[in-house]
Structures are given as structure tokens and as C-alpha cells.
Amino acid sequence: MTDSQQPLAKEWTKEEMEQAVDMPPVPEDKEIFVRIRNLHKRFGPRHILRGIDLDVYKGETLVVLGVSGSGKSTFFKHLMGTHTIDEGTVEVGGRHLDHLSTDEWGAYRQDLGVIFQMAALLGSLTVLENVGLPLIEVERAPTEEIRERVIEALHRVFLPAEEILSLRPDELSGGMRKRVGIARAIIQNPRLILYDEPTTGLDPVTVSGVNELTLELQKTLGVTSLVITHDMEAAFTIADHIAFLYNGRIVAYGTVDEIRANEHPVLRQLLTGSTTGPLTEDYVK
């Protein structure tokens, strides 16, 4: 076994680095909730997603790692149904997202919470109206109930609800906006939550708070979560599994321990934050 004697000395070719990993067989006690096979996306001539295969188990948190611009947000948009699927299949909780009717989309989205990279709050609405928007517009709940549920959701993300209810998004700090965005995503108790960089730009205490919230939602509500993050510590804290997206494919996948031990050179560079490695060599070339 020469490989294991000198694990880091192995030279990886470009092809090897871009090689997609096969999803492992499903453990007996697990059930697949999100199943993606051979997902492709092109923007004009640019081939951004080049055959993504990924399983997410029910009730688990999967963290997606990847360098900036690798297509993580683009990948998420296929799960939201705001990008059409060029090729491949996306299946969530038994629903095939490539052919859903309008009503089925409605039902699917009731179960879906999304935290956007830039919060995506509506600038003309107050915090109360923003967080309560799905209740006002879709559920059409009574005003008193909306207020109560909004306050509860805001408390869950550690915001002083009563103080900020009537403020508009531009009167909040960036970190507060982000948390208001999280409150909006969880107010309907979704079964699947997509977090696009939920902790970027937050102070360390709030970061831990958001991480704990992710864990708590998973425990209490049994939600399945997909999280994009550049925060390795957070990734290792909340993840059940980690997937590494590189050049349009999932090139590394495993539990936290497996990922820590993974030898993919780009992943290693990302985990250590080193400036020497294949990522930076690419730029030099």
C-alpha cells in the first residue's frame, strides 16, 4: 500500500480532481429526502453545473462547500424551482421537480424555507409584514395570529421583536436583516430549509446562535437542511454530511470525519485556507 504510506505525496491530475464521487449506498436506518442525479446547468456557453449527483438524508443537515463562483447558489436555485433544469433529475420528498403542476409547486413551496445570501427582504414592507408575508398573502391568517407568530419567529433568531416590528429593512443592520430573513424562512415550519451563507457578516455570538438554531430546528422539527457556508467551523459543527462542489461536480462527499481526512487537494486547500495549492495555481496560470 504505497498510497497510504505517502498520502499527501500523490500527484492529482486535473481529471482526477474533477472526477465526481459516487454516492454511497443508503444506510438501513436512513431515508433519502433529496435526490439529485446528473444535474446540468448552462448559462449561454458557460457550463456551470456539470453533472451533480447528491443524496440528502431525511432529517439531516448537509453542508455544501465550494469556492466562490463554483455554482453553489445556482445549484440551490434548482431546488427552489427558480432555475429550470437543463438536464438531469431533482427529487425532493418523492416529488420530481422537473414536472410539477402549479398546484404541486405551491404545496412543495409551503414545505420549503429559503435563506437568501442577501436576505432578500422587501424594501417597502416593515419587518412585521416581511416576516409575516407568507401568512398574510398565502395562508391569509388573522392579523393577531400573524403578529404572534412573527414575534415568536423573531425571538427564535434572537431579535428584539417588539422593537423592530415596525422598522423597514434599510433601518436594520446587515446582520439583523439576515436574521429577519431567517425568521421569514422558518415561520411556516418548513420540512426542507436551504441556507445560502446564513452566517456571513454576523458577529461570532450570532453565528453560534444561528448554528444552534439550525441544530435545534433539525432536532425539534426534524427538518432536512442544506447549508452553503464558507465558515469551516460552522460546517463541522452543524453538518451530518458535507459535499464539496468543484468545477460543477460533487468531488468529495462524506461525514465530518471523512471530509477532514479527505485528500482532495482543492478541498485540503479550502479547509486550511492556504494560499499554496491547486486553486491558486489556477489563477497564476
Partner 1 sequence: MLAATGRLIIQACEEAGRTLRLLVAALLYIRVIHRSHKQLVRQLDHAGFGSIVVLSLVAGLTGMILAMQMGTELERYGALDSLGAIIGATFCREMGPIWAAIIVLARVGSSMAAELGTMVVNEEVEALKIMSIDPVRYLAMPRIVALIIAMPLLTTMADVVGIAGGAFVSHSLYGLPYDKFILSAQSLLTSTDFFSGLFKSMVFAAIIGAVACDRGLHTKGGAEGVGKATTVSVMLNVLFVLVGDYMLTAIIQFLTRAEII
Ligand X SMILES: Nc1ncnc2c1ncn2[C@@H]1O[C@H](COP(=O)(O)OP(=O)(O)OP(=O)(O)O)[C@@H](O)[C@H]1O
Q: Using the rule CB under 8 A, is 277 a contact of partner 1?
A: no
CA distance linking residue 31 with residue 108, whole number of Å: 19
Task: DSSP for 209-252, please give it.
Answer: HHHHHHHHHHHHH--EEEEE-S-HHHHHHH-SEEEEEETTEEEE
Q: Using the rule CB under 8 A, is 82 a contact of partner 1?
A: yes
SS3 call for 124: coil
Per CB under 6 A, the list member of 34, 56, 65, 72 interacting with ligand X is 72
- Dihedral-angle region of residue 61 (phi above 0 means left; psi in -120 to 50 means alpha; beta otherwise): beta
Q: Using the rule CB under 6 A, is 82 a contact of ligand X?
A: no
Site for partner 1 in 176-195 (CB under 8 A): 184
Per CB under 8 A, the list member of 114, 146, 207, 226 interacting with partner 1 is 114
CA distance linking residue 69 with residue 17, whole number of Å: 17
Residue 96: phi, psi to the nearest 5?
Answer: -90, 110
Q: Using the rule CB under 6 A, is 73 a contact of ligand X?
A: yes
Q: Supply 195's cell numbers.
A: 441556507
Choose the stretch contacting ligand X; rule: CB under 6 A; options: 12-20, 70-78, 172-180, 256-264.
70-78
In whole angstroms, what separates CA 155 from the centre of its chain?
A: 22
Q: Using the rule CB under 6 A, is 66 a contact of ligand X?
A: yes
Interaction partner, residue 29 (ligand X, partner 1, Mg ion, none; CB < 5-8 Å by kind): none
# of chain residues touching partner 1 (CB under 8 A):
24
Site for partner 1 in 135-154 (CB under 8 A): 137-138, 140
Site for Mg ion in 39-78 (CB under 5 A): 73
Nearest approach, Cβ of residue 169 and partner 1 (Å): 10
CA distance linking residue 60 with residue 48, whole number of Å: 26
Q: Which is nearer to Mg ion, 57 or 75 (CB)?
A: 75
Interaction partner, residue 43 (ligand X, Mg ion, partner 1, none; CB < 5-8 Å by kind): ligand X
CA distance linking residue 48 with residue 62, whole number of Å: 21
Nearest approach, Cβ of residue 117 and Mg ion (Å): 5
Beta bridge partners of 37: 89
Site string for ligand X, 108-137 (x = CB under 6 A): ---------x--------------------
CA distance linking residue 74 with residue 166, whole number of Å: 33
Could you tell me which of 177, 180, 237 has the C-alpha nearest to residue 212?
237
Rule CB under 8 A: which residues touch partner 1? 77, 80-82, 105-106, 109-110, 112, 114, 116-118, 120-124, 133-134, 137-138, 140, 184
Rule CB under 6 A: which residues touch ligand X? 43, 48, 66, 68-74, 117
Rule CB under 5 A: which residues touch Mg ion? 73
